Amino acid sequence: MEYKPTSGHGIQGHFYLPRSGGHAPFALDVQLDIPGRGVTGIFGPSGCGKTTLLRCIAGLQPCENGSLAVNGETWQSSGNKRNSLPVHRRPLGFVFQQPSLFPHLSAGENLEFARKRARQKVSDDEYREITELMGITRLLSQQPEALSGGEQQRVAIARALLIKPRLLLMDEPLASLDQMRKREILPYLEKLHRSLEIPILYVSHSVEEVARLADHLLLMDEGKIVNEGPATALLSRADFPVQLGDDLGVLLEAQIAQQDSQWSLLSASFDGGSLWLRDTGEQVGDSIRVRVLARDISLTREEDMQSSILNRLPVQVEEICPDRDPAMMLIRLKPQSASAAASDANVSRLIARITRRSVHQLSLEIGTTLWAQIKSVAIVR
């Protein structure tokens, strides 16, 4: 593979690992060119090579035919001037899937371990800022075994940040945690996303996490990148290249338009209409990201005023696709209520997952107008 000079921004690289070694059923062959800011989600089914790719980037997995440049710095090059920085000389932070605090050191000593070896001096203010960001200031005197999995992972993230990395790599940092702990830690990751200047590569096989955190998305399967692009666009496609099953849905960027204190509801408007949400404390004007799952949408020919479902949007069938499950179909819907920009091709679409029999009974075709009933809307950010 030949080494390409870097443009100075973003992360460019190429990694090739043959399928030898016994454990890998396929070769890893990845050409990377991703933004130098924000969170890039690396998403795909278990065993698709996500973690291996991350380990290659970190240098933990030796890759002879590899090249990598991060925001203009060459970390690894192939070809004639083959060269590769060892792991400990790459300015990166790594958060592992398993909580990985050193058991012989307290939480605070774990942080000191990183601080002592930081790329640049970490001031007391910066130290305080990071521990506060992760909400761990009161845990520092504890031994790791006395902390919950979520707390350990927060300390591990703070530790990774304390070396002042130029790139933060996170390998399914929530995978070893139960649902409660995941909910506990996700807000910290979102804060991290907002307050950090450096790029983050976030490996996950959970749509929920990727939907909440990622700006940019790489979809991997069998060692290759099968698709990439902005997260919202990629996650809203009916022909989503990675099979999501029950998790298939769309992401909508929305804004809080009004608050209904009598019923504790919020109204959020997006480019295809507006939706009622449970009031979870957001302020009017706040930008939010909401997720609507395909299985939560049902379709009616007439508007059903007797229904308990609050959110009903007029829509038009744009595409009908077969689902992985032969009993089900996926229907791509274009909202009709958007007033002025109704014809705009960029309007957010919805995806409904209904039985093939319903498609037949309602005689759905492209262009049919319908009402979409949305059973629930989740705010993901």
Partner 1 sequence: MLSEADIGAIWLTFRLATTVTILLLILGTPLALWLAKTRSIIKGPVSALVALPLVLPPTVLGFYLLVFMGPSGPMGKFTEALGLGTLPFTFWGLVFASLLYSLPFVVQPIQNAIEAQGERHAEVAATLRASPWDTFWHVTLPLAKPGILTAAVLGFAHTVGEFGVVLMIGGNIPGETRVVSVQIYDHVEALEYTQAHWLSAAMIGFSFAVLLLLYLLQHRKSSRGLRYGI
Binding site for partner 1 (CB under 8 A): 58-60, 86-89, 91-94, 96, 98, 100, 102-104, 113-114, 117-119, 143-145, 159-160, 163
CB of 51 to partner 1, least distance (A): 12
CB of 264 to partner 1, least distance (A): 45
CB of 194 to partner 1, least distance (A): 24
CB closer to partner 1, 159 vs 349: 159
CB closer to partner 1, 16 vs 96: 96
CB of 155 to partner 1, least distance (A): 12
CB of 136 to partner 1, least distance (A): 17
- Tally of residues, the chain: 381
CB closer to partner 1, 117 vs 183: 117
3-state per-residue secondary structure call for 158-210: HHHHHCCCCEEEEECCCCCCCHHHHHHHHHHHHHHHHHCCCCEEEEECCHHHH
CB of 166 to partner 1, least distance (A): 12
- Of 177, 345, 219, 160, nearest to 271 (Cα)? 345
Specify the 3-state DSSP secondary structure of 115: helix
> What does each C-alpha distance from 137 to 108, 129, 185, 260 come to in angstroms?
9, 10, 15, 37
CB closer to partner 1, 3 vs 96: 96
Q: Which residues contact 73 (CB under 8 A, 6 or more apart)?
A: 91, 166
CB closer to partner 1, 175 vs 244: 175
> What does each C-alpha distance from 215 to 8, 116, 207, 258, 282 come to in angstroms?
20, 32, 13, 26, 21
Distance between CA atoms of residues 291 and 259, nearest Å: 20
CB closer to partner 1, 93 vs 249: 93
